[in-house]
Structure formats: structure tokens, C-alpha cells
Amino acid sequence: MTDPFKDLSQAEKKLIQKAHFPKWYAPMLATLTNKRFSDPAWIYECKFDGERAITHVHNKAIKILSRNQQDLNSTYPDLVKAFQGIKSKSFIVDGEIVAFENNVTSFSRLQKRLGVKEISLKEALQTPVYYYLFDILYLDGFDLRQLPLKSRKTLLNKALSYKDPLRPTEGIMREGEEYYRNACKQGWEGLIAKRLDSSYQPRRSSDWLKFKCHKSQEFIIIGYTPPKGSRKGFGALLVGYYKNDQLCYAGKVGTGFTDDLLLALKEKMDKYVISHLSLTEKIRESSSVTWVKPVLVGEFDFTEWTKAGKLRHPRFKGLRTDKKATEVIREEPQ
């Protein structure tokens, strides 16, 4: 096999470190910002509305892992099969698993696959997913994380051959503001701006920035109200987030549900019903609320935060299984 590192400069070769194949590299996370800019030192990529996944391939063993190290092999057997066709024998890649609705990535559609513990390859292909790869962290005995992003992307393209459902993440340089406007017009969630000379850092970093077209983030489900009229399951979700280890109330969410989802979500919540919950403020309608142990995490869209610190026009998008409730905070742009 051709040496994938032969075109690296001497300075870059000094940055790659010989290393045993690791059990885990923590993912690099992007920082939310309200700034929009164009800069040739940055690359701008689609912000996918999906599930982050880091894949380990070593001596024919394939592990697809969520960002909190959950094994996703049985959820995505179609992706496991795709990696079996890759010639490189030892690598770790980072990317996002998505499903599409009308040519736009849809977290709601991905719900049909998210959290499914066991699914056959035939069943998986009925709800097709695609894995967009945007980074490589390890290759053929070397830790690549100190290399600049531009060099890692070159190695990513050398190490992998792309065939659906594996896809490269396309990006553009320079025209960040125009690309952002076009992304929002097309219904994308937004862009991720990445500094081309940045290393891969195991934390949230300002070298990767989120340009969101609309506001969305994870919240913890902390309770629900009873249904009214012909509505099934429950009326609205109560959601919250942590601040300084205290649970804060973010508001009620009553839209984004089908009848089947209302019933399925209530059945899931009822496994965690508790008699009371300690919050930083009193909830006016608390007497009618069924409280839920703060373990379930959902993804929500909303238009803005009110002055009182509540969500305006929130909408439920789906449950997340790849983030712990204790990690959910209010995202503030920097």
C-alpha cells in the first residue's frame, strides 16, 4: 500500500505521533456564535441535523460509537457493512449520521433508527441513512490529532474510498457569509466553520464555530401535563437544563408530536415518574404536572429565549440517546 504520509512536510511529520490503537478519543465540539464571516483561513461545512459518530476500524474489527461511547453497530448494520469494504486496516474517523427528508437532513426522520438496539440489514435499508465523514484522528499506527485540519482532510481522502452510504463532507473556503445565507434558504440547520490550521481538540473549541440558521439545542424532559380534548398521551412537555449543577426550568413544549409519538413518548416517560423535582423556580401549574426523573434528553427548535428565560415557540424534534442529561446546559453564543 502507498505510504499515506509521504506528501506531508517535515514539519507535519513531526506532529504525527506513533501510538497504539486507542480505546477512545474524545470528540472535538463546536462553539455557538452569532458572528458570520468570510475568511480564507477557514473552511465552511454543512451543519448536519443527525447523530455524531466516531468509527474505529482495526484489524477488521469495526466499532461505530456515539459521542458518549455507546455502541451503534446494531443500530446501523448498513454502515458496518460499508466499512467492511474499506482497504485501510487501521483508522479512526469522525462524522455525522443523517437521514434525509426532501433533500434536507432530518433529525425527525432519523428517529426511526436512533436508539434502535437491534435491526436487520434488510430493515435498516427501509430507512436509509448516510454517514458524512469530516475528520480522521488515527491512521496506520499514528495519532493525527496535532496535524492541522487541512492535512487531516487530505489524509482522510487518501485513507477512504467513498461509496454510499459513506460520503465525504464537502466544504467551501472564503465565502462563509454567502454560503450561510444559501444554507438557510435551502432549509439547512446551518454551517460549521473550522479553522484550517487547527488541531483536533478533545473539548468544545472556538476553532470550530456553529453558524445556526435557527435556534435549536438539547433540553432535559422533566415532566408533562395531562392531555386535553381528543389529544392522546400528554398535553405538553416541561423541559429544563443545568446551570451550576442546578436544574432550571426552560418552559413547555406542545408541538412537534404525532399521535403515535405522544403515546410512545408517554410510555417511555412513565418509566421515570417521580413524586417531586427540585428546580430553581416554582412552576405555576405544578399541581397538574407529572414529574419525570431528569434522564431523558430531547432535541428542540425554538425562535428565541424570552426575557424571563423561557423558550418561545418551541417544537419537539426527537429524543437524543447520545448525550447525558447532566451535560445539558443553556447554549449561549460567544
- pLDDT, tens digit, for every residue of 299-325? 999 988 999 999 999 999 999 988 899
Its domain, for residue 261, covers 215-327
Are 219 and 190 in a shared domain?
no
204-212 and 29-32: which strand pairing?
parallel
Please, what is the end-to-end C-alpha distance for the chain in angstroms? 45
Q: Among positive and negative, which fits the CA dihedral 137, 143, 147, 152?
A: negative
Identify the pLDDT of residue 178: 95
Instruction: Give the CATH number for residue 38.
Output: 3.30.470.30
In a domain, 270, yes or no: yes
**Which residues are known to be catalytic?**
47
Q: Among positive and negative, which fits the CA dihedral 145, 151, 156, 162?
A: positive
Write down which residue in 212, 227, 244 finishes a domain: 212
Identify the pLDDT of residue 1: 56
Write down which residue in 212, 241, 276 finishes a domain: 212
In which element (H, E) is residue 315 found? strand 315-320
Identify the pLDDT of residue 198: 98
Identify the pLDDT of residue 285: 76
Beta-bridge partner residues of 194: 43, 208
Q: Which amino acid is at 307?
A: K
Identify the pLDDT of residue 121: 84
In a domain, 2, yes or no: no
In a domain, 3, yes or no: no
166-168 and 130-139: which strand pairing?
parallel
Instruction: Give the CATH number for residue 239.
Output: 2.40.50.140
Write down which residue in 212, 231, 252 finishes a domain: 212
Q: From 111, 140, 133, select the one nearest 50 (Cα to Cα).
A: 111
- pLDDT, tens digit, for every residue of 70-100? 999 999 999 999 999 888 889 999 999 999 9
Q: Which residues of the chain have pLDDT under 70?
A: 1
Are 186 and 228 in a shared domain?
no
In the numeric block, the cell 465525504 is attached to 168
